[in-house]
A and B are shown apart, each in its own frame.
Chain A
């Protein structure tokens, strides 16, 4: 059962895409949203639970002040208004990963609203308007047992761990993003990437998409080109990598276009994104399930942040990302093109951290945009998810700077890092990668190379220094790459002077 797709170009020729992005950010507070249970990732099942987050009768929730503070800081960083007064609401539905049978959320009174974020794509700025950012709680985690696939369908029963139930979530919702045309997939990805960067700078979340601490839902609809109308949308859930955000938008544009151009109509529904196959499949129809019977949460009193508190938090915001980029570009001495490539590759934060860890700006940029980008591309992952940290890249570059290894050997060190063989120093030692600084061994290798190619040696003696390249190659090969090529050249010229 596969969907019929129109090509991306055909989709654009007939239709304008409109997107809406909902991003859930799991906060890194020490405790849950409404109870004092800890929030450690990876704890043993059901060891971070209490009567409140298990929804036991009589348990009463109390709001985590730090979570409210983080929510407001996110809102302020997104240029939002902060509500003078707002309430929590119950969103009622039945699902076993939510033991209370309602999710405590916010409905028509979000803590933050009416903001925007400027997103940079290919050196151009696109303003994404933020409708709201509201507070809510995460659900438990289900394990589907039985059946062949381990997925929901075909499972015999499910096992639920409530450690995650009640962890604070901030849901950030954009207004419809229109007029993006062929840039729609890129803008969606850039928005989530930049939002993630902002969250990292605010320090309010682990911001790990691979661990689900940032999750994106992609709403997409198409309308006949030039009409400015909004078509029927689908909501693709749990798109959990930056690359998938881009791919999911592209896929839905092509799928919708095929249906609409064939005279069909789009079913308003939830779609599931499949990371492995890069397709979406039908979930449930939205109409009935959207009847959540929201009502104000009677167990929690309203949140009414004083303007003094809001101003105080405003003072804690990190530097505006656009200004920060301009400032660092000047400090690093990057050209506009280098800067654009760095941002486009999703490597800005990585380069920044690598430089902060001691690497020279151009060296940091070079490693991330060539070696790491190539490896990420080969493995089909985002550069940030490759498994090499900025500190490690800086450590490898430090070994190059110290003359212990050269760029070519450094690549083998990265192989070792990805294979989990230890620190860069340990890998150099274990794999025997250090450049041979033993002049005796080097000198012997040079003598051997000269003796093996007397004609080349004669040319060099005659002043044709360019011919030295052939001998350098022979020496480097004999030294298994572990020599400083510049020093080899010096030795050859000295000996044949």
Chain B
């Protein structure tokens, strides 16, 4: 039976930048475990003849020709930015490293 521990939930929350209090973790971790168990029951139904799937539609090779289409103007692109400067998105000081 899959089970998700409180520590794993805390780790995931951290990776997802979700701030959870101890009380919230106590509350959510057992609930997530129950959900995982419920979803996992599907694997009991699927036989070897059913391929795992990540898409609802049986489609492959949906492509686009390599032809440029009009894009947004810089003004449009930056319209929703909380702050901008030099026609660029302004973001808080970056502390970590680039990937």
Contacts and interface: CB of A to CB of B under 8 A. Distances in A.
A47 interface: yes
B73 A47 contact: yes
A303 B60 contact: yes
Chief secondary structure at chain A's binding surface: loop
B73 A65 contact: no
B2 to A, nearest CB: 15
A162 B99 contact: no
Contacts of A160: 88-91
A92 B73 CA distance: 28
Contacts of A159: 84-86, 88-91
A299 B95 CA distance: 31
A161 interface: yes
B15 interface: yes
A48 B91 contact: no
A303 B64 CA distance: 13
B43 interface: no
A36 B97 contact: no
Nearest to A69: B66
B63 A65 contact: yes
A476 interface: no
B29 to A, nearest CB: 17
B57 interface: yes
A301 interface: yes
B54 A97 contact: no
Nearest to A65: B63
B67 A62 contact: no
A65 B89 contact: no
A44 B96 CA distance: 27
A45 B74 contact: yes
A44 B71 CA distance: 13
Interface in A358-409: none
A95 B89 contact: no
Interface stretch (A150-158, A322-330, A418-426, A484-492): A150-158
Given A30-B66, A67-B66, A301-B61, A156 B93 contact: yes
A155 B72 contact: no
Contact of B96 (A95, A145, A304, A305): A95
Contacts of A49: 71-72, 77
Contact of A97 (B65, B78, B86, B98): B98
A282 to B, nearest CB: 10
Given A143-B88, A156-B93, A161-B88, A46 B68 contact: no
B60 A45 contact: no
B96 to A, nearest CB: 6
A26 B87 CA distance: 24
A93 B99 contact: yes
A162 B89 contact: yes
Contacts of B87: 44-46, 161
20 contacts: A31-B67, A36-B64, A36-B67, A36-B71, A38-B68, A44-B74, A46-B87, A46-B89, A64-B63, A65-B64, A85-B60, A95-B98, A96-B89, A139-B98, A146-B93, A156-B93, A158-B93, A162-B89, A272-B97, A296-B55
Given A46-B78, A157-B91, A305-B61, 5 more contacts: A49-B77, A56-B80, A97-B98, A144-B94, A159-B88
